[in-house]
Amino acid sequence: VAARTAPSAVSPARTRPGRMLAVLRERLRAARALGRVIDATGADAIVVNGLVTACSVLAWKRSARRLSICCDHNHFSARSAIWQRLRAWLYPQAAAVVSLTEADRPKFAALNPRTRVILNTSSLHADAPALPAAPQVLAVGRHQAQKGFDLLLRAWQQVQARMPEARLRIVGGGPLRSD
């Protein structure tokens, strides 16, 4: 005897499997689009930023693997197991890998010996700031809670109070873009 349950009022996109499927669809669309750009430009090298984007492109566009320089923007173990497995499969086939920290370099180098460190700019310091006449701030990233754009917008109110001429531009896509 099979019992029937009432359909869930929860949207499939709000369930974990639904979110995963939505991300996979979005990544597939992005990988296809990037594949078309790669074909059209005849690029000699491709810098792929972010684990999800890198794995999507490398999995979809095999010919891009030997041209790709992959750069994660999270610590090595910050992603879920599925993305870590994809990285372990695909990164050895990349032309090179960039680690943003010395601490993560050995982990990336174990996957691809052509790993180099390029320090994350947030860890660099200058003796004196180079401020333009009208400060402009560009924030680039996926619009999701983990990126902290809500904190940036709250902090920006303080910047605007002191420097009304300052301009903020936020670029990127994602689930919170319309918020």
Torsion of CA 136, 30, 56, 42, to 10 degrees: -90
* Cα dihedral 46, 49, 50, 52 in deg (nearest 10): -40
Provide the pLDDT confidence category of residue 6 given band limits of 50, 70 and 90. very low
Beta bridge partner(s), residue 68? 46
In this predicted model, what pLDDT tens digit does every residue of 59-96 receive, in sequence order? 888 888 888 889 887 788 888 888 899 999 999 999 99
- The overall pTM is greater than 0.75: no
How confident is the model at residue 61, as a pLDDT?
83
> Tens of pLDDT along 10-20?
455 577 778 87
Residues 6+ apart with CB under 8 A from 107: 76, 77, 99
